[in-house]
Chain A
């Protein structure tokens, strides 16, 4: 029985039906008027210009038709491969030796003989040789790809380098774009926040990036190179305003930026321009500024400065660091420039290892080393700081004050 005829049949006129008992049609191409014998496969071969089909290539085949037929062709080929695979398996199963127990041996057991451990070793080498991250093995996309490969069977060939960087990449782009479309639809119903932040990249260009955030996820909108621009309120309001318009003003209900004064002023401007949008300063940034404000108080800054001096001294000399490490299980933590809160985290750790630090400055090893070294003065200073009750009282007070704030930040 014949199946329903595919779209390739509408593009040709049938001149002669096959004789009884099957065979080929004689057809005439509707585009280039070539006459030939064949079935669906040969007709497709004609339009797609497949040499293997043995038919001359159609000279006037329209692109749309070509595309359509290509898809069909691909699907047919996959079907064939599948069929062949099942056949192969069946044949292989039939030739398996039957054990004396007459227990039917499973396919898995028969093919598992190809030693899994060997394959594992090769996977391992592929990972180690390329410095791939170990957790890639748990990555859902990676797992899915490997599973699909084993399902496909032994005929699978890896995509070529060229297709990986061209066609496959294009396909992926289309897929992601489709996902983004549904994401945008959900954002329109739940509304979104536009967030923005500035940064200097490794070439020291001042950049500004814009993201759209919803509970479902974030979407990167744009990054702007602001080299040479004055980053005043008007400028920022203009950049963010453009992003809001691009997304669709009705989708956005909030703008969240650093709490720097210009950003706040820009936020006010945006609130006037889009009455339904509220500006909210970034909470962690604001809390960090609060800690920074606190750091400017005299009693706070003196404690922090002392702590830093100590830290620098201990970590800058490997001898002292070695002595300290022999006394404490925990490392000292160094503060970073961009986040003021790290100063408080440093104090926290120092307080945790207070006993070790104090033991350190009174230890014989330290005394011996410090006397011989050229920085005896500094060493004395560190000794005084670490044994001073006022310093530790200050540390304790500061920790008490900052803990709830740092806790909220982390």
Chain B
């Protein structure tokens, strides 16, 4: 979930590099200013369209993105998105405060989160599994972490489901109404 946000951010960076002609993957390609403007405008528009608080909250909670290079402490947008989701998932005000305190604990690498082996696990494990395994110290935050990060951001399961319909052979397929499926 959090990875989508970061991936979209990387695409933006790559576009910028192409404009300057400094892209490492595509040496020698330099987009003209007009082309860059066109493309990056489309990209921004679609990104705004795709935007959901879930992506932002996912980025905040994804253990992989905690280190300073991802600049979460300066990113007001993602924190706002996280707060919106928090309000939805945890209606109780006291619990909300608890979660925020626990997030601070997590960010300051207090207790368990300061251990080098746990930090290695943060980078290696899928986010929701990490919270499930190592979130005991921060129970309320753990619940939010597992809930947000274990959601999918694609409808591809539905597409796969359609391909099952495709396999059903003609004679039976004619009898297979959606009510019976």
Name the residue of chain A whose CB is nearest to the CB of B173.
A202
B70 within 8 A of A: no
**Which chain B positions have C-beta within 8 A of A299?**
35
Give how many A residues have a beta carbon under 8 Å from the other chain's beta carbons. Answer: 59
A and B contact pairs by CB, cutoff 8 A, 22 listed: A190-B128, A190-B146, A191-B150, A193-B151, A195-B154, A195-B157, A202-B166, A202-B173, A203-B174, A207-B165, A209-B158, A214-B150, A276-B88, A278-B88, A286-B49, A286-B50, A290-B46, A397-B35, A400-B18, A401-B31, A401-B39, A408-B7
Which residues of chain B have a CB within 8 Å of any CB of chain A?
A: 4, 7, 10-11, 14-15, 18, 23, 25-26, 29, 31, 35, 38-39, 42-43, 45-46, 49-50, 52-55, 85, 88-89, 91, 128, 146-148, 150-159, 161-162, 165-166, 170, 173-174, 177-179, 181
**Which chain B positions have C-beta within 8 A of A207?**
165, 178
Once the chains are docked, how many angstroms separate the CA of A289 from the CA of B50? 10
Once the chains are docked, how many angstroms separate the CA of A285 from the CA of B150? 20
**Which chain A positions have C-beta within 8 A of B154?**
195, 256, 282-284
**Nearest-Cβ distance from residue B162 to partner chain A, whole angstroms:** 5
Residue in B88, B91, B161 whose beta carbon sits within 8 Å of that of A209 in the complex? B161
**Which chain A positions have C-beta within 8 A of B174?**
203
Name the residue of chain B whose CB is nearest to the CB of A264.
B49
Interface of chain A residues 188 through 206 with chain B (CB within 8 A): 190-193, 195-197, 199, 201-203, 205
**Which chain B positions have C-beta within 8 A of A218?**
157
Which residues of chain A have a CB within 8 Å of any CB of chain B?
A: 190-193, 195-197, 199, 201-203, 205, 207, 209-211, 213-215, 218, 220, 223-225, 253-254, 256-259, 264, 275-287, 289-290, 293-294, 297, 299, 396-397, 399-401, 403-405, 408
**Which chain B positions have C-beta within 8 A of A257?**
155
Cβ A280 vs Cβ B88 within 8 A: no
Once the chains are docked, how many angstroms separate the CA of A283 from the CA of B1? 10
Known A197-B158, A199-B162, A224-B178; judge A400-B50 contact (CB<8 A). Answer: no
**Which chain A positions have C-beta within 8 A of B49?**
259, 264, 281, 286
Contacts between chains A and B (CB distance < 8 A), count: 142
Cβ A282 vs Cβ B155 within 8 A: yes
**Which chain A positions have C-beta within 8 A of B50?**
259, 281, 283, 286
Residue in B25, B26, B88, B155 whose beta carbon sits within 8 Å of that of A196 in the complex? B155
Known A225-B179, A276-B89, A278-B53; judge A397-B158 contact (CB<8 A). Answer: no
**Which chain A positions have C-beta within 8 A of B53?**
278
**Which chain B positions have C-beta within 8 A of A259?**
49-50
**Which chain A positions have C-beta within 8 A of B88?**
253, 275-278
Name the residue of chain B whose CB is nearest to the CB of A290.
B46
**Nearest-Cβ distance from residue B86 to partner chain A, whole angstroms:** 11
Cβ B147 vs Cβ A191 within 8 A: yes
Once the chains are docked, how many angstroms separate the CA of A257 from the CA of B154? 8
Cβ B152 vs Cβ A256 within 8 A: yes
Cβ A401 vs Cβ B42 within 8 A: no
User: Quick one: which of B49, B55, B91, B173 has the most chain A CB within 10 A?
Assistant: B49
Cβ B11 vs Cβ A408 within 8 A: yes
**Nearest-Cβ distance from residue A227 to partner chain B, whole angstroms:** 10
**Which chain B positions have C-beta within 8 A of A256?**
151-155
**Which chain B positions have C-beta within 8 A of A192?**
151
Cβ B153 vs Cβ A282 within 8 A: yes
**Which chain A positions have C-beta within 8 A of B148?**
253
**Which chain B positions have C-beta within 8 A of A287?**
46
User: Quick one: which of B18, B43, B53, B154 has the most chain A CB within 10 A?
Assistant: B154
**Which chain A positions have C-beta within 8 A of B26?**
396, 399-400, 403
**Nearest-Cβ distance from residue A300 to partner chain B, whole angstroms:** 9
Known A211-B158, A282-B155, A397-B31; judge A225-B178 contact (CB<8 A). Answer: yes
**Nearest-Cβ distance from residue B178 to partner chain A, whole angstroms:** 4
User: Quick one: which of B15, B45, B155, B178 has the most chain A CB within 10 A?
Assistant: B155
Cβ B181 vs Cβ A223 within 8 A: yes
**Which chain B positions have C-beta within 8 A of A211?**
157-158, 161
Cβ B179 vs Cβ A294 within 8 A: no
User: Quick one: which of B38, B150, B166, B179 has the most chain A CB within 10 A?
Assistant: B150
**Nearest-Cβ distance from residue A299 to partner chain B, whole angstroms:** 7
**Nearest-Cβ distance from residue B85 to partner chain A, whole angstroms:** 7
**Which chain B positions have C-beta within 8 A of A205?**
178
